[in-house]
Amino acid sequence: MAPDVAIIGAGFGGLCMAIQLERAGVGSYTVFEKADGLGGTWRDNSYPGAGCDIPSHLYSYSFEKYASWTRRYPEQPEILGYLEHCADKYRVRRKIRFGAEVRRAAFDGLKWRLTTANGTETFDVLVMGVGQLNRPRLPDIAGMSDFAGVSFHSARWNHDHDLTGRRVAVIGNGSSAAQLIPRVAERAERLYVFQRTPNWVIPKPDAAFSPLTRLALRYVPGLQRAYREWTYRYAEGALYPALAQGWSAGLLRQRALRHLHDQVADPALRAKLAPGYPPGCKRVVIDSAFYPALTRHNVEVVTDGIVRITPKGVQTADGTCEVDTIVYATGFRSTEFLAPMEITGLGGRSLEEQWKDGAEAYLGISVQNFPNMFLLYGPNTNLGHNSIIFMIECQVNHVMSCLPYLSANGPIEVRPEAMAAWRGQLDAAMERMVWGAGCQSWYKTDQGRVTNNWPGPTTLYRRLTARPPIPAYRLAE
């Protein structure tokens, strides 16, 4: 009999899982989604300029190529439209329970008991599709609640607040800030960008597809597949070695420095924007509009440390920048995987306690002591160079290949030996990666352990997740 599967989250991960179950004829699943719409991060992040710096045709499911992309790099509304299209085409929308936040998940020895505001239900299998960047992180700056103007996080954009003619502060300069700053700068009277650490920036060769290209991508057999394959191979062949401090690391640095020189003429501003750590240590910003926005007459890059927020604005050691709007583009609570759900496994063991030194999972998918629970986009599966949708599809394939075994035999958990071997491989691979090279980033815990990123080529990850899974698992006791 097919297992009852609970999927948490209706973003790219949860939808992929639901679609593959549907395609396999397994109808016994429910998707729990805390919001009132699908899309996950692509529903939450609707700030002006929101989009993806991975090419459209690669930032999509391999089984659902899409001829409707209008640009080389997709913007948020188009990505959300793609996900809505997939949910309808594969008939999974009817299985999504919106407004259903799972607060607790407890394994009772045989099944998972899920608690929502509406009560408790049991399932055989639990698939977590909540992502890594789903909980905005507001900074801990003194006086934030005293601010007399309007403030919000980039992932909770206040669309009712018109920025035309305003004095605005943007705190942060990561990928989100880089995308929204050019749009805000066009409207605001004055924009202060508070930069704590500079980021490496490379150009994004974005353009709308011409009508002819769109027709060709739609109708020429194999063209879309070939284009997708080419963008995948480029990311894998040229960008991954840069992060592994291999042959292209120097080229990436040169490209970023040239971009800075080409777009910023003022040496003082250039000096402020030049990072002092190797490219890739923090996520490289891929954007062609960010630097030009910073050179506008109405924009100032402030590098003095923020002392406090006052009712009138942002105070630094040098004075106060008076503003009426503060945008916190300060990122996400990325290392707190699965929080704030309370999750207990075998013998009532708390996942939060087990992960107190940092989250970990076999293949980023399975956690010792938590049988029949599978994570999508879990620990050590994020990428700084290629499409995360590729990783999610590998993970869903792995879960699909576990299902027949666990439904025939009972709950399975990852073997301690398999987990120990995985940990050893990760640690060894991590040593050559650039993420440890003297920077802080959302990829790692405050103690410096990289819990978010996958340190190998994605081709290797695909091989590892395609292996028959069962030797790495045992029946849960």
Residues that bind ligand NAP (CB under 6 A): 51-54, 133, 139, 141, 154, 171-177, 179, 194, 196-197, 283, 306, 329-331, 440, 442
* SS3 at position 25: coil
Cα(151)–Cα(9) distance, integer angstroms: 27
Angle between helices 12-23 and 76-89 (to 10 degrees): 20
Exposure string over 77-101, b if 16+ CB within 10 A, otherwise e: ebbbbbbbebbeebebbebbeeebe
Residue among 330 and 407 whose Cβ is closer to ligand NAP = 330
Backbone dihedral region for residue 23 (phi beyond 0: left; psi -120 to 50: alpha; all else: beta)? alpha
* Dihedral Cα 368, 371, 372, 377, nearest 10 deg: -20
Burial class (CB in 10 A: 0-12, 13-18, 19+), 214: middle
Task: Return the DSSP state at 284.
Answer: P
Does residue 283 contact residue 176 with C-beta atoms inside 8 Å?
no
Distance CA 56, CA 65 (A): 10
Side-chain-side CA neighbours of residue 125 (13 Å): 30
SS3 of 259, please?
Answer: helix
Instruction: Name the minimum Å distance from CB 333 to ligand NAP.
Output: 10
Nearer to ligand NAP, 194 or 377 (CB): 194
In the bound state with ligand NAP, the residue whose beta carbon lies nearer, of 345 and 358, is 358
Angle between helices 211-219 and 223-234 (to 10 degrees): 100
CA distance 385 to 457: 10
What separation, in Å, do the N-terminal and C-terminal C-alpha atoms of the chain show? 21
- Cβ 437 to ligand NAP shortest distance, Å: 14
Least distance to ligand NAP, CB of residue 278, Å: 15
Shortest CB 206 distance to ligand NAP, Å:
11
Which is closer to ligand NAP, CB of 306 or CB of 394? 306
Work out how close the CB of 441 gets to ligand NAP at its nearest, in angstroms, rounded to a whole number. 7
Helix, strand, coil % over all residues of the chain, rounded to 5: 35, 20, 45
Nearest distance, CB of residue 243 and ligand NAP, angstroms:
13
Residue 396 CB, shortest distance to ligand NAP, in Å, is 21
Provide the minimum distance between the beta carbon of 194 and ligand NAP in the complex, in angstroms, as a whole number: 6
| Shortest separation between residue 139's beta carbon and ligand NAP, angstroms | 3
- Cα 185 to chain center, whole Å? 26
Least distance CB 49 / ligand NAP (angstroms):
9
Residue 248: Cβ within 10 Å count: 17
